[in-house]
Amino acid sequence: NAGVTQTPKFQVLKTGQSMTLQCAQDMNHNSMYWYRQDPGMGLRLIYYSASEGTTDKGEVPNGYNVSRLNKREFSLRLESAAPSQTSVYFCASSAGEAWNEKLFFGSGTQLSVL
Amino acid sequence: AQSVAQPEDQVNVAEGNPLTVKCTYSVSGNPYLFWYVQYPNRGLQFLLKYITGDNLVKGSYGFEAEFNKSQTSFHLKKPSALVSDSALYFCAVRPRTSGTYKYIFGTGTRLKVLA
């Protein structure tokens, strides 16, 4: 019963390097999300995908790109990492239907940009 | 601007005592309301939600939450706290607007239950 799987769990980058965070869900969910968690700021939405084939910006999209590869997978790319992107990143998914609505989260990726 | 407030960064309570973690929101309409819990080095886990109906919602691990429309609050409660309840708790709101998928999270409240 995997749920939402994120890779990698930890990553250290140098300023200017690029990387892609991978996320996959096995619950046949329509909607997928990328959040970042910073101390004292709660969770902030970076990008989301309401359904396969669509993506939209969230609160803090600058410096990130996303790809909804198929219904299962939603990746987050940092093209040129900056120290301000040091954070814990969470992928989440939901069915997207009101009465069944809730978010399922992955276990997170701890990213440090030096 | 739409927002969710959790006024307490930390709540300390003795084991066996009742606990309350506060949440108020400023979101138009009648949004969906949620509580999530985060244990150390883990992702968030769903606790409970309010969609409609009874103002007192029961959830996982003995938690419940009380919805108050006039005060736009959704406080998390538990009659008797356990040490294992110690974690970070997030209130979240999702507007009911058709086509809206964005959740708004509070900044989190750290609950410490003391033995």
pLDDT in tens, chain A (114 residues): 679 999 999 999 999 999 999 999 999 998 999 999 998 888 999 999 988 889 999 989 999 999 998 999 999 999 999 999 999 999 999 887 766 788 999 999 999 999
Q: Which of A96, A102, A93, A45 is nearest to A72 (CA)?
A: A93
C-alpha distance from residue B112 to each of A13, A64, A114, B35, B82 (Å) = 34, 35, 33, 17, 9
- What are the pLDDT digits (tens) for B41-51? 888 999 999 98
Read off the amino acid at residue A56.
D
Cβ distance of A102 and B34 shorter than 8 Å = yes
State the sign of the Cα–Cα–Cα–Cα dihedral A14, A16, A17, A18. positive
Cβ distance of A105 and B103 shorter than 8 Å = no
- Distance from B49 to chain A by nearest Cα, in Å? 8
Task: Say how many C-beta atoms besides its own lie within 10 A of residue A26's C-beta.
Answer: 12
Strands (E), chain A: 4-7, 10-13, 19-25, 31-38, 42-49, 56-57, 64-68, 74-78, 87-94, 104-105, 109-113
Cβ neighbors of A69 (< 8 A, separation 6 or more) are A75
